[in-house]
Structure 1
Amino acid sequence: MTIHSALNDFKRVRGSDRLFAGERRSTTGFFTGLEDRLVHVSPDGAIGDYSYPLSGLVGVDRSRFGVEIDGTVRWFDDGDQRYVEGTAAVETVHRVAGRRLVQYDLAIGRLHLTHFVLEDGTGETERGSLDRSDAPSDFGSDAGTPTIQACFGFAPEGRTGRVGQLRHDGIVEVHHDSERDLLAASTDFEVTSQMPETFDELLEAGPTALPRSSDDGRYEDGRLSPIILASVELEGATPRTTIATLLTDAEACDRADALDRVRAGPLDHPTRDSLLEAGRTQTRRLGLDRFRRSETAPAGAFEDLRALQLLRASSGSRIAGPEFDPYYRYSGGYGYTWFRDDAEISRFLLAADRRAELGLEDWHEASARFYTDTQRSDGTWPHRVWPHSGRLAPGWANGRLERGSGTSEYQADQTASVVAYLATYLRVVDPSAEYVRESLLAAKDGLDASLEDDGLPTRVQNAWENMTGRFTHTAATFLEAYAALARAPLPERIGDDAAERARAVYDALETLWVPDRGIYALRLDGDVLDDRLDGSTFALASAHAEYDRLEGGVDDERLDRLVSHHETTIEGLARDPDGPVTGLARFESDPWRVRDQDDPKIWTVTTAWGAHAAVELESLLSDRDHAAAANFGDRAATLLEAVGPDGSLRRSGGYLPEQVFDDGIADSAMPLGWPHALRLATATALDE
Structure 2
Amino acid sequence: MNSEAKLQEHLSKKPYLIDAIAGNSEMLVSLGRTGRLYRLWWPHIDIPQHVDEIRTGLKWDGAPGGVSWFDDAGDGWSHDAGYVPRSNAYRVTASHPDAPVTVEQTDFAVPGKPIFVRLYRLTYRGEGPGRVSFVHYGSFRIADNELFATTEFRGEHDALLHFRHEYAFAVGSSSECAGYQAGGGARHAALRGETNGNTIDMQSDGVLEWDLGTLTPGTTVELPIYYAAGMSRGEALDALAEAKSIPAAEWLADTLAYWDRFLANAAPCPGGGEEIRTLYERSLLAMKLMADEKTGTIVAAPEFDEYFTRCGGYGYSWGRDAAFVTTAFNAAGLGSLSEKFYDWAVSAQEPDGSWQQRHYHDGRLAPSWGLQIDEGASLLWGMWEYFVHSGEDEAFLARMWPAVEKGAAYLAGFIDPETGLPLPSRDLWEEREAEHTYSAAAVYGGLTAAASFARRQGRDDLAQAWDEAARGIAKSVEDGSWNEAKSSYYRGRKITVSKEAYDTAIARGEKGEVLPRDKAYVRHVLEFDPIVDVSLLGLSVPFGMVPAGESRMAHTADAVEKLLTSHPVGGIRRYEDDSYIGGNPWILTTLWLGHFRTLQGRYDEARKLLDYALDHVTESGLLPEQVDKETGGTAWVVPLTWSHAMFILAVHMLAEKQELHAR
Q: CA deviation at 1:672?
A: 0.3
Q: CA deviation at 1:157?
A: 1.7
Q: In structure 2, what residue type is equivalent to 1:529?
A: F
In structure 2, C-alpha distance between the alignment counterparts of 1:241 and 1:41, rounded to whole Å: 19
**2:412·2:447 contact (CA, 8 Å) conserved in 1?**
no
Q: CA deviation at 1:43?
A: 2.3
User: Identity percentage over the alignment?
Assistant: 22
Distance verdict in 2 for CA 1:55–1:457, change over 3 Å: closer
Cross-structure match for 1:363 = 337
1:307 to 277, 286, 296: 286
* Structural mapping, 1:197-212, within 5 Å: 211=190
1:519 to 477, 488, 491: 488
Q: CA deviation at 1:92?
A: 0.6
Cross-structure match for 1:482 = 447
1:75 to 49, 69, 78: 69
**1:61·1:155 contact (CA, 8 Å) conserved in 2?**
yes
Q: Does 1:431 align with 2:404?
A: no
Cross-structure match for 1:128 = none
Q: In structure 2, what residue type is equivalent to 1:500?
A: E
Q: How many residue pairs are counted as aligned between the two chains?
A: 591
Question: Per-residue displacement from partner, 1:92-143 (whole Å, max 9, x unpaired)?
Answer: 101132542211111124211111112255xxxxxxxxxxxxxxx35x31x1
Cross-structure match for 2:552 = 561
Cross-structure match for 1:202 = none
**2:427·2:436 contact (CA, 8 Å) conserved in 1?**
yes
Cross-structure match for 1:36 = 26
TM-score (norm 1): 0.80
Q: Does 1:95 align with 2:92?
A: no
**1:46·1:63 contact (CA, 8 Å) conserved in 2?**
yes
Q: CA deviation at 1:238?
A: 2.5
Q: CA deviation at 1:38?
A: 1.1
In structure 2, C-alpha distance between the alignment counterparts of 1:62 and 1:41, rounded to whole Å: 12
**2:610·2:650 contact (CA, 8 Å) conserved in 1?**
yes
Q: In structure 1, what residue type is equivalent to 2:557?
A: H
Cross-structure match for 1:406 = none
1:359 match: secondary structure: coil
1:613 to 596, 616, 634: 596
* Structural mapping, 1:462-611, within 5 Å: 462-488=427-453, 489-490=456-457, 491-510=459-478, 511-524=480-493, 525=495, 526-542=525-541, 545=544, 547=545, 559-577=550-568, 581-594=569-582, 600-611=583-594
2:416 match: secondary structure: coil
In structure 2, C-alpha distance between the alignment counterparts of 1:562 and 1:555, rounded to whole Å: 6
* Structural mapping, 1:224-303, within 5 Å: 224-234=202-212, 238-250=220-232, 255-271=233-249, 274-284=250-260, 287-291=262-266, 299=277, 300-303=279-282
Question: Per-residue displacement from partner, 1:193-229 (whole Å, max 9, x unpaired)?
Answer: 44579xxxxxxxxxx9994589999x99951111111
Cross-structure match for 1:355 = none
Q: Which moves more between the two structures, 363-372 or 187-196? A: 187-196
**1:187·1:234 contact (CA, 8 Å) conserved in 2?**
no
Q: Does 1:172 align with 2:160?
A: yes
Question: Per-residue displacement from partner, 1:444-503 (whole Å, max 9, x unpaired)?
Answer: 111112222232010111001011111111011112222223333242112111211121
In structure 1, C-alpha distance between the alignment counterparts of 2:258 and 2:167, rounded to whole Å: 25
In structure 2, C-alpha distance between the alignment counterparts of 1:157 and 1:55, rounded to whole Å: 11
Q: In structure 1, what residue type is equivalent to 2:483?
A: V
Question: Per-residue displacement from partner, 1:28-72 (whole Å, max 9, x unpaired)?
Answer: 432110321111222222213241552744232211111111263
Q: In structure 2, what residue type is equivalent to 1:118?
A: L
Distance verdict in 2 for CA 1:440–1:459, change over 3 Å: same
Q: Which moves more between the two structures, 57-66 or 174-183? A: 57-66
In structure 2, C-alpha distance between the alignment counterparts of 1:213 and 1:412, rounded to whole Å: 56
Question: Per-residue displacement from partner, 1:213-269 (whole Å, max 9, x unpaired)?
Answer: 89999x99951111111112337952121001122223xxxx434312213314423
* Structural mapping, 1:96-175, within 5 Å: 96=96, 97=99, 99-108=101-110, 109-121=113-125, 137=126, 140-141=128-129, 143-144=130-131, 146-168=132-154, 169=156, 170-175=158-163
Distance verdict in 2 for CA 1:337–1:640, change over 3 Å: same
Q: In structure 2, what residue type is equivalent to 1:67?
A: L
1:66 match: secondary structure: strand
Question: Per-residue displacement from partner, 1:270-301 (whole Å, max 9, x unpaired)?
Answer: 44xx343022233146x234459666796222
In structure 2, C-alpha distance between the alignment counterparts of 1:362 and 1:113, rounded to whole Å: 28
In structure 2, C-alpha distance between the alignment counterparts of 1:509 and 1:23, rounded to whole Å: 49
1:654 match: secondary structure: coil
In structure 1, C-alpha distance between the alignment counterparts of 2:5 and 2:242, rounded to whole Å: 36
Q: In structure 2, what residue type is equivalent to 1:191?
A: Y
Question: Per-residue displacement from partner, 1:504-528 (whole Å, max 9, x unpaired)?
Answer: 0111112111011100112212442
Q: CA deviation at 1:159?
A: 2.2
Q: Which moves more between the two structures, 318-327 or 421-430? A: 421-430
Q: Which moves more between the two structures, 499-508 or 274-283? A: 274-283
Question: Per-residue displacement from partner, 1:418-439 (whole Å, max 9, x unpaired)?
Answer: 0101123334422342011221
Distance verdict in 2 for CA 1:665–1:24, change over 3 Å: farther
In structure 2, C-alpha distance between the alignment counterparts of 1:66 and 1:261, rounded to whole Å: 25
**1:59·1:155 contact (CA, 8 Å) conserved in 2?**
yes
Cross-structure match for 1:372 = 346
In structure 2, C-alpha distance between the alignment counterparts of 1:100 and 1:440, rounded to whole Å: 58
Distance verdict in 2 for CA 1:637–1:85, change over 3 Å: closer
Question: Per-residue displacement from partner, 1:555-584 (whole Å, max 9, x unpaired)?
Answer: 98xx1000100111122111131xxx4211
Distance verdict in 2 for CA 1:71–1:391, change over 3 Å: farther
Q: In structure 1, what residue type is equivalent to 2:447?
A: Y
Q: Flag structure 1 segments of 5+ consecutive residues without an equivalent.
A: 13-20, 122-136, 198-207, 353-357, 398-409, 549-553, 595-599, 619-629
Q: CA deviation at 1:83?
A: 0.9
In structure 2, C-alpha distance between the alignment counterparts of 1:210 and 1:323, rounded to whole Å: 30
Q: In structure 1, what residue type is equivalent to 2:226?
A: A
Q: CA deviation at 1:337?
A: 0.8
TM-score (norm 2): 0.83
Q: CA deviation at 1:336?
A: 0.8
In structure 2, C-alpha distance between the alignment counterparts of 1:4 and 1:162, rounded to whole Å: 22
Q: Flag structure 2 segments of 5+ consecutive residues without an equivalent.
A: 74-78, 496-524, 657-663
Question: Per-residue displacement from partner, 1:629-682 (whole Å, max 9, x unpaired)?
Answer: x4x3333212111113xx2x2112321111221213323221000111111011
In structure 2, C-alpha distance between the alignment counterparts of 1:26 and 1:302, rounded to whole Å: 25
2:303 match: secondary structure: coil
Q: In structure 2, what residue type is equivalent to 1:321?
A: A
1:641 to 604, 611, 624: 611
Distance verdict in 2 for CA 1:117–1:6, change over 3 Å: farther
**1:483·1:498 contact (CA, 8 Å) conserved in 2?**
yes
**1:5·1:62 contact (CA, 8 Å) conserved in 2?**
no
